Chain A
């Protein structure tokens, strides 16, 4: 029998060392942030932050669509919930004159709070809709996204909080590169660790075969709802980051097309591949920006034509996405092979039942 000591450690570094490195990485974002603010063209910084927000959105949707296999078209709805929660609260503080000097505290509290409200929405929406599968689930989540958008469009205020409906809501710019990429690290690490733990095998099992997963003791509904809630949380945080960086949030920005754009990132990157989806999110944010130069040459806007063509070619050439289900690198080292022989007849001697 293989003993525990025969198993090579499945990671190169101990977990606490990796955790320290990740904290260091987040801390290192701070000087980078200052550097960016001082030196680099603000347009570049803006694109970088948009990349970060889209990476969070795509990675969190990947947990739902790619890893757990539940096709959701409502991600922009969760994003809107987070954006408006964070935006409205920041505005409230600003109106009271208490935001000045406390921007970091507002972000520290209100970004996760926006995520939590979105997660709560994920729970409420997930429990009834996750009984559905495939097309039906897609339509139900699409409906949810539209409901959120229309409610926001028609809400002027909730109690003391200004929402301003279809006019859009102005939010002070208090977020920056640091906050965005700190959350990118948190989101990617969370989803990566969930997917690569024994717990993650249950999410994957739900995607592979629900009946077999249930026969293995996996509460498939609970795992689906959990994936939905975690995904909604990070979508809400991404919405909050957007609200606190891009001056204005508008319900039109959280419509069906936004949800589809995120789904496209997941599908193009390879559903279930975390690194693939991150690559796709970067590519699909950067590319339309690059294509702006094309727009400058002609009067007509050919950007979306090129973008759409790229998607069509991609799906024809690599329907499984950039990386399929693989990752850029393979973390689990090979486990020690068993003693040769391997047939069921060469079994160890029978022991009395335990």
Chain B
């Protein structure tokens, strides 16, 4: 499988670059002057207390919200303000904090959704079932099954996605996102609600994704043990402000971070 995309783009720039990203909802500044760079092979964390603006940041980068100000570029190409499906096709895929699988569809069909590039393309072939269409359908099913196998879900391919165990649903959501061949993968609290064993599996899986696929991963997570052990760099948000950036060690010992999580030190 070829997961890279040869396009006329700036190789000298970071894959994902966010500068001075700001969003206001009415009088509320949900995110203020956010900056980040992310390259293929990197694993970067985004943490902060509840309501800090982490998911809002993901929503802006994936086109759900328009930023009030600031730039987001993917390989040098500005993407802020584009529609979610366009941003996905340019190479950013995501998972959701509250799992958003296609619950009534089979596990395999959830992954197959990621192979649709255009609404009209191949429509006539689909209806006439031309040989080319048949080959394409087989190839897509094969790729989808290979992906499910990677995620340990191949034996569940024909089950209804909504009937999977919680940890498997989380894994399927990641598999589904990878089906769109992203270069940047945004994971929004992938370990939420998982038991320790599932969390250990997840850490293993994320490390594997980084080594196996040519992509950068940006992770929101509340489980500090998980974040600190796998992320190379971490950004800490509080009330939309970036209060710390650095390696796990630097961030952990930052007084501002401790304050944001534990409250002001007593005298």
CB of B214 within 8 A of CB of A1, answer no
Contacts of B158 in A (CB 8 A): 332, 334-335
22 A-B contact pairs sorted by A residue (CB < 8 Å): A2-B149, A189-B127, A198-B115, A198-B141, A201-B112, A208-B102, A209-B102, A211-B96, A211-B100, A214-B83, A216-B176, A217-B88, A218-B116, A325-B104, A335-B158, A337-B157, A338-B148, A342-B153, A344-B152, A344-B208, A350-B212, A354-B2
CB of A214 within 8 A of CB of B205, answer no
Query: Contact residues of A with B, CB < 8 Å?
Result: 1-4, 7, 10, 14-16, 18-19, 189-190, 193-194, 197-202, 204-205, 208-209, 211-220, 222-223, 226, 325, 332, 334-335, 337-348, 350-354
Contacts of A332 in B (CB 8 A): 158
Q: A194-B123, A201-B109 are in contact. List 4 more A-B contacts (CB 8 A).
A: A2-B149, A197-B133, A215-B100, A337-B154
C-alpha gap A50/B4 in the complex (Å) = 54
Contacts of A211 in B (CB 8 A): 64, 84, 96, 100
Q: Mark B159-197, 1 if CB is under 8 A from A, else 0.
A: 000000000000100001101100000000000000000
- Size category of the B interface is 35 or more
Main secondary structure of the interface of B (DSSP, over half): helix
CB of B140 within 8 A of CB of A219, answer no
- Chain A residue nearest to B204 in the complex (CB): A345
CB of A354 within 8 A of CB of B142, answer no
C-alpha gap A199/B116 in the complex (Å) = 6
C-alpha gap A155/B211 in the complex (Å) = 69
- Which of A217, A335, A339, A342 makes the CB contact (< 8 A) with B180? A217
Q: Does B261 lie at the interface of the complex (its beta carbon under 8 Å from any beta carbon of A)?
A: no
Q: Does B131 lie at the interface of the complex (its beta carbon under 8 Å from any beta carbon of A)?
A: yes
CB of B212 within 8 A of CB of A216, answer no
C-alpha gap A348/B146 in the complex (Å) = 11
Q: Mark B74-112, 1 if CB is under 8 A from A, else 0.
A: 000000000111001100011010001111110011001
Contacts of A339 in B (CB 8 A): 149, 154
CB of A190 within 8 A of CB of B127, answer yes
Contacts of A222 in B (CB 8 A): 118-120
Contacts of A338 in B (CB 8 A): 145, 148-149, 152-155
Give the shortest distance, in Å, between A213 (CB) and chain B (any CB): 7
